[in-house]
Amino acid sequence: MTSIVQMRDIDAFLKDLWRRKRSSFWSAASEYVVFFGTMAALLVIDWRRTLLFVVVPQQVALFTIQMVNYLQHVETDTGSEWNHSRNFVSPLLNALLFNNGYHTVHHMKPGLHWSRTPELDAEHAGKIDPRLRVRSLFGYLAYTYFVRPLAHPRGAAASPAK
């Protein structure tokens, strides 16, 4: 569903690149051609193995990424310069997510190479509400969806950073 929703934004992004910077447009467009061309070729060669070894794992990975992204934005202050995102600062999780857990600075400089986001995060960490700097994804899930509802059965406690 998110791909469908994002199509309008992707279309606008590509049209803007076409107008502003043709070399970047061709670079971005070539990614789509290579991705969808490769997928089509693999499906023609052996659709069963492609589904089993490419499509299903890819969709599981995409679903996981979308869920983490949801958790990074739910119950945050979308209008804030610094508190619009939850930051998962676990070294293990960030190794798996290419440091996308440092989400505030990811929005601040989305083109920054992933290896440099911890350094940028360290520069700005003091500006971010401490409740939005979470050491453990699983600890956050346990607290938010089990402990907090049990402690406040008639309604969730005040959302962080709002």
pLDDT digits (tens, 9 = 90+) for 122-138: 999 999 999 999 999 99
Residue type, 152: H
pLDDT of residue 153: 78
Tokens of 158: 């005040």
Cα–Cα distance between 141 and 146 in angstroms, integer?
Answer: 8
CA 48 → CA 11, 56, 101, distances in Å?
Answer: 31, 11, 34
pLDDT of residue 4: 76
What are the backbone dihedrals phi and psi of residue 160, each rounded to the nearest 5 degrees, phi first?
-65, 145
pLDDT of residue 91: 94
Low-confidence residues of the chain, pLDDT below 50?
none
pLDDT of residue 160: 59
Q: Is the pTM of this model over 0.75?
A: no
Q: Is 133 left (phi over 0), alpha (psi -120 to 50) or beta?
A: beta
∠ at Cα 93 (90, 94), nearest 5°?
Answer: 80
pLDDT of residue 156: 53
pLDDT of residue 1: 60
